[in-house]
Structure 1
């Protein structure tokens, strides 16, 4: 609940510090005294739009802060915890400069105005005869009904299912839209892989083929040279063996004492003759065993030509074909596996859709059961508020498109006159009627959930007498469940409050200022008397005020 409001240099307020209590607080004062200043300052703390016109004349800036007790506000504590802010306190501050710029803080940490607004929605709800945006919003209608039904956790779980379904559906659509392109790519890859499969190039085959081609292309020349070499070795008349034999024979017949010194040379000639004979045999064997194979050469040439042709087709070097073949095959396997992935996505999507529809159906059934009870309870409160002839209804109709909150449209409707069909609140209720309808709904809602601080700005406009007293009683009753602050012109309403704040405007020759004070019992009697009879207080109006206050407080007990 709101426990403190500090205002500095705002409108015609220079300094104002207010402490608030639980229960119902009445705020009264003469017209133009500045009751709207309090609500304006509070609104800025809650993220409303700021402008330089709110800064007190002559001041550099307006400084506004609101402190809340959030001990029982789990939603607000979770909001702060998610942003790693302290959760034991909640101080919302707004500074507006004379140039129109503004800054915001939450628990001393800089924040955006949107953050103030978002947190404020967890803490306080403002109602006025001119601005019932929340009550005119069907999203509010649904939340009120869901609070009454007590299935908020189920609705949150349904929203999570809807997010999963939406995300998966987007993924499925993206995959489906790309499927034609994927199939075209897969078809091309399949053709390329089949072509490379037929080529069946092995890792070292290219090098081996090039070496074989080199050998086969020069084989005839090599055989001719090998034959010449063999003939040079063992020709009968001029061969190297014949000449070497003659040299060895002649040297071995050399006479004289120097023959011994030639023994080493003679040995070398004998060894050479043996080596030369072996070489001749090898050469003859090579010539005799080697045959020219033009067909093999043609096949090798054709094989190499095919390898180079396919390499040019893929814009790679021939030695890169083996790696290319492997890459293309892996890509094709991945794309072919995409059909299975798409089918898996479709199956999961169908599963999530069914889970969502089952959960949405259960929630819808609970809403339908709760709607009649909720409408009856609001109808009873409207009768107390002088709208006994009005007919209130909660209409739950199915939606064609799944939404995060389910498959229902919830609309609070009313018929102000007997015999007329019910229509949405925004199209039927006047400002005064809407204020009373809002009050009736809040009283009913208070019995189903923990409410934030409620501010009612002149919800009693257009009523008087006994109905005004009933409004005061309902506000006080609502104050038993939540903190209620009401700006009122009716003494019957103000008399019901637990706390009474009085606003007055004071002027001198230099400035006009607004002051606010908490009234004691004597002050309350004087203020009630003023509200009953005007500025001049008679003994009769004072007695009436004293009686009204006593009666209201005793009735409350």
Structure 2
């Protein structure tokens, strides 16, 4: 429950603090006094985005802080999941800085807005005047039924399955798009692929072919030059090999005189061996050189094929051609194997739909189970609130389509009068009746949700007299199991509160500020008397106020 609320430098509020009790608390004040401002500040603690324009003095920071006693609510696992320090007296603080930046803290640990929202959902429910209209909203109707059926985990699992289904459906759509495109281009791609495959592309082949082409194109020059080189090396009297051997023999005779000559001899010996090897390789190369016009033509043809392919595909290497070949093979494969892939994807979708159907049926069954009891409780409360002939019908029909929260179609229908026909609830009920229905819904939810605190902002709109008195009784009863705070203009409701705060505006030196004070004793009597009869308080209004308080 909310035990303290501090608001500084926010809108018309300069600095206020409220110390709140359990049970049923009343907040009153004239229209425009600042009740909505207080709710706006509270919503910041629940994760609403901050608005810099809400700062009163824009040279100072705005601070909203709430202390919550959460010991009875077993929220340790939630704090652990959000990586927050758990404290039984948890403090949530929001700051809006003059720079326009906003900061949030939970027990003095910096927190993001999503953490505030997750925690806020378990701590506080603010029912605004606008929310009453949401009774006719299908999402809200589902929210109520699912809260009673405790479907949150099942719906979470269902949504994950639905997300997977949409993923599979997109994959199937993409496959069909690829197949359609591939089919259009299949013949041309297959022609290009066959052309590349016939070229038998291999790494380094272009360099090898170009080298062989040069050899075959220069047979005469190779024969002449290789023969001459062999001759220069191997002539018996003036050849390089003979001269080198003579030089080696000369050094051999003096090698024993010093290590220098020995080293020179060894080096010359190495040169001699290397020259002999060169001579052998030259002779071997010379033997291989022969004119082969047929092979030359074949090599030339292969090179022209490569050059033409490179020009056609606007590349310059065989490696790039091989990459294009791989890409074409993939495109052709997609077209040739698309039917099998599509069949596989369709089977996966069918299995996922069946999984979703099982989950949706389970959600449907749990909804269906709670509806009769919910209707009975609503009608009982409405009878106490002056709608004895009101009957509620809730239609729940499973559909073939999968929706974000299951496959049900849900509709709340109301017959407000005896013998009347059923109609959509937002059309069948007046403003005051909607307020009573919403209070009935909230009071039922309160017993199921075990929410620590609920704040009603003028839930009594459109009601008065005896009905207001009965609404007050329901609010008071709710206060026995949770903290209930009601902002009201009705003295019948204000008189039922265990504690009572008044919000009012007052003129300061250079501005108007909103303030709040807790009313006790005669102050409460006076406030209720003013609510009953206006500022000119009569004795009868005072007597009536005391009667309401008693």
Q: TM-score, normalised by structure 1?
A: 0.70
Check whether the contact 2:26–2:487 (CA below 8 A) recurs between aligned residues: yes
Aligned mates of 1:530, 1:153 — CA distance in 2: 49
Matched, 1:490 2:490: yes
Superposed displacement of residue 485, structure 1: 0.7
The change in CA–CA distance for 1:314 and 1:341 in structure 2 (over 3 A counts) is farther
Which residue pairs with 1:63 in the alignment?
A: 62
Aligned mates of 2:218, 2:135 — CA distance in 1: 100
Which residue pairs with 1:241 in the alignment?
A: none
1:299-310 paired onto structure 2 within 5 Å: 300-310=296-306
Which residue pairs with 1:408 in the alignment?
A: 408
Q: Deviations over 1:114-140 (max 9, x none)?
A: 986776555433334455354443212
Aligned mates of 1:423, 1:344 — CA distance in 2: 47
Secondary structure of the corresponding residue to residue 3 of structure 1: strand
Matched, 1:369 2:369: yes
1:98-113 paired onto structure 2 within 5 Å: 103-107=102-106
Aligned mates of 1:74, 1:311 — CA distance in 2: 79
Q: Deviations over 1:345-389 (max 9, x none)?
A: 333222222211221133223323333332222111111111222
Q: Deviations over 1:507-531 (max 9, x none)?
A: 6897765543334456545544555
Which residue pairs with 1:467 in the alignment?
A: 467
Superposed displacement of residue 205, structure 1: 7.4
Check whether the contact 2:503–2:516 (CA below 8 A) recurs between aligned residues: yes
Secondary structure of the corresponding residue to residue 448 of structure 2: coil
Check whether the contact 2:212–2:299 (CA below 8 A) recurs between aligned residues: no
Backbone CA RMSD of aligned residues = 4.7
Which residue pairs with 2:266 in the alignment?
A: none
| Deviates further, 506-515 or 357-366 | 506-515
Matched, 1:168 2:168: yes
Check whether the contact 2:378–2:440 (CA below 8 A) recurs between aligned residues: yes
Check whether the contact 1:159–1:405 (CA below 8 A) recurs between aligned residues: yes
The change in CA–CA distance for 1:201 and 1:14 in structure 2 (over 3 A counts) is closer
Matched, 1:143 2:136: no
Aligned mates of 1:62, 1:422 — CA distance in 2: 54
Structure 1 residues without counterparts, runs of 5 or longer:
225-282, 284-288, 551-557
Superposed displacement of residue 63, structure 1: 2.8
1:13-412 paired onto structure 2 within 5 Å: 13-29=13-29, 34-43=34-43, 45-46=45-46, 47=48, 50=51, 52=53, 63-69=62-68, 71=70, 84-88=83-87, 89-95=90-96, 103-107=102-106, 120=120, 123-129=123-129, 132=132, 134-183=134-183, 187-188=187-188, 190-200=190-200, 297-298=293-294, 300-315=296-311, 321=318, 323=319, 327=323, 330-331=326-327, 334-335=330-331, 336=333, 339=338, 342-398=342-398, 401-412=401-412
Q: Deviations over 1:10-48 (max 9, x none)?
A: 455432110222222112345665544433443455537
Aligned mates of 1:62, 1:140 — CA distance in 2: 36
Q: Deviations over 1:119-167 (max 9, x none)?
A: 6555433334455354443212111111111222111110111111112
Superposed displacement of residue 299, structure 1: 5.5
Aligned mates of 2:476, 2:354 — CA distance in 1: 47
The number of residue pairs the alignment matches comes to 484
Structure 2 residues without counterparts, runs of 5 or longer:
225-282
The change in CA–CA distance for 1:427 and 1:43 in structure 2 (over 3 A counts) is farther
Which residue pairs with 1:501 in the alignment?
A: 501
Q: Deviations over 1:155-193 (max 9, x none)?
A: 111011111111232233223223334456665554344
Superposed displacement of residue 419, structure 1: 3.8
Aligned mates of 1:32, 1:208 — CA distance in 2: 92
The change in CA–CA distance for 1:376 and 1:324 in structure 2 (over 3 A counts) is same
- Specify the structure having the higher radius of gyration (Cα): 1
Check whether the contact 1:468–1:490 (CA below 8 A) recurs between aligned residues: yes
Check whether the contact 1:13–1:514 (CA below 8 A) recurs between aligned residues: yes
Aligned mates of 1:399, 1:520 — CA distance in 2: 57
Check whether the contact 2:50–2:102 (CA below 8 A) recurs between aligned residues: no
Check whether the contact 1:371–1:395 (CA below 8 A) recurs between aligned residues: no
Q: Deviations over 1:214-235 (max 9, x none)?
A: 77778899999xxxxxxxxxxx
Secondary structure of the corresponding residue to residue 314 of structure 1: helix
Which residue pairs with 1:272 in the alignment?
A: none
Aligned mates of 1:545, 1:221 — CA distance in 2: 127
The change in CA–CA distance for 1:422 and 1:309 in structure 2 (over 3 A counts) is same
Superposed displacement of residue 409, structure 1: 3.2
| Deviates further, 527-536 or 156-165 | 527-536
Aligned mates of 1:547, 1:201 — CA distance in 2: 103
